[in-house]
């Protein structure tokens, strides 16, 4: 093969290699982009950080959260296990949260208010994320007796709820405000939830847990 043809051949081979590498880089970049887009707008993994959802979800379990349905207007329903932003200050140990606007309401477990639920949340949204079960929709009359939710005068069927005994197991009735939701952990005796800092506005809800993928022994619907 003449020298000029060998040179042309080597140039073509080099260009093909560069093209293949560039194509691979673009494919990887596209895959990463779509993976990030799916997490941002559709489905996102979430780690269960506490035992507040026992026995349904154990600490360290991982679930997939459907964010897309919430974005297109789907509304939470009774029984949904939901990831959301709680009111500001909810990170405090339960029993030390504030009802109503931050700093304006009494502490939930403060003396004679020991069995009063918060009728409204603090005004600001917290930055952390919680996972709890929806037990009250807008307009529902909610009270708790011996750890069981009484909704609109009837005791809810809650086979998933752990036994509860103590002060937090009895709460006076409230009416869930418009566009807000009352959320509680299944581990009623050890859950920092709406009993302490009030209902959660719909705008603060991220999405519904639709599947669990770790540990392998618990794969399936939560």
CB 88 within 8 A of CB 198: no
Supply the pLDDT for residue 63.
93
Nearest Cα to Cα of residue 198 among 139, 116, 131? 116
Contact status, residue 65 vs residue 130, Cβ threshold 8 Å: no
Q: 145: closest CA among 117, 121, 175?
A: 117
Q: Which of 88, 117, 132, 194 is catalytic?
A: 132
Q: Read off the pTM.
A: 0.75
Q: Per residue in 137-173, pLDDT tens?
A: 999 999 999 999 999 999 999 999 998 888 788 888 9
d(CA 49, CA 58): 9
Domain topology for 43-218: Umud Fragment, subunit A (2.10.109)
Question: Is the bond into 53 cis (omega within 30 degrees of 0)?
Answer: no
Task: Give me the catalytic one of 20, 21, 44, 52.
Answer: 52
Distances (CA, A) of 132 to 22, 32, 111, 222: 46, 30, 27, 12
Whether the upstream peptide bond of residue 110 has omega within 30° of 0, thus cis, is no
- Give pLDDT tens digits for 36-48: 444 445 678 899 9
Q: Catalytic annotation on 21?
A: no
C-alpha–C-alpha distance, residues 72 and 137, integer Å: 19
pLDDT at 19: 54
Q: Quick one: how far is CA 73 from the chain centroid?
A: 17
Q: Is 217 a catalytic residue?
A: no
- Give the whole-angstrom CA distance, residue 142 versus residue 127: 26
Q: Where is 167: in which H helix or E strand?
A: none
Enumerate residue ranges in the chain where pLDDT < 70.
1-42, 71-72, 92-122
Q: Where are the domains of the chain?
A: 1-41, 43-218
Q: Provide the CB-side half-sphere exposure for 100 (13 A, CA).
A: 7
Q: In percent, how much of the chain has pLDDT > 90?
A: 41
Q: What is the pLDDT of residue 15?
A: 56
pLDDT of residue 17: 57
Which residue in 129, 118, 136 sits closest to 183, CA to CA? 136
């Amino acid at each position: 093969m003449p020298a000029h043809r060998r040179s042309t051949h080597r140039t073509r081979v080099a260009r093909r290699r560069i093209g293949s590498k560039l194509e691979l880089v673009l494919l990887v970049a596209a895959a990463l982009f779509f993976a990030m887009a799916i997490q941002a707008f559709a489905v996102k993994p979430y780690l269960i950080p506490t035992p507040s959802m026992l026995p349904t979800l154990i600490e360290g379990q991982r679930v997939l959260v459907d964010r897309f349905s919430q974005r297109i207007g789907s509304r939470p329903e009774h029984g949904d296990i939901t990831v959301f932003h709680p009111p500001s200050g909810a990170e405090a140990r339960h029993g030390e949260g504030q009802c109503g606007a931050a700093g304006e309401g009494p502490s939930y477990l403060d003396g004679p208010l020991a069995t009063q639920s918060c009728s409204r949340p603090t005004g600001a949204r917290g930055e952390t994320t919680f996972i709890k079960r929806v037990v009250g929709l807008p307009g529902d009359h909610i009270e708790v007796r011996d750890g069981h939710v009484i909704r609109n005068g009837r005791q809810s069927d809650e086979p998933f709820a752990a036994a509860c005994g103590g002060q937090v197991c009895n709460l006076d009735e409230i009416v869930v405000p418009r566009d807000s939701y009352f959320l509680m952990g299944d581990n009623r005796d050890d859950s920092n939830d709406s009993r302490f800092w009030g209902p959660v506005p719909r705008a603060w809800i991220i999405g519904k847990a639709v599947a669990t993928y770790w540990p392998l022994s618990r794969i399936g619907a939560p």
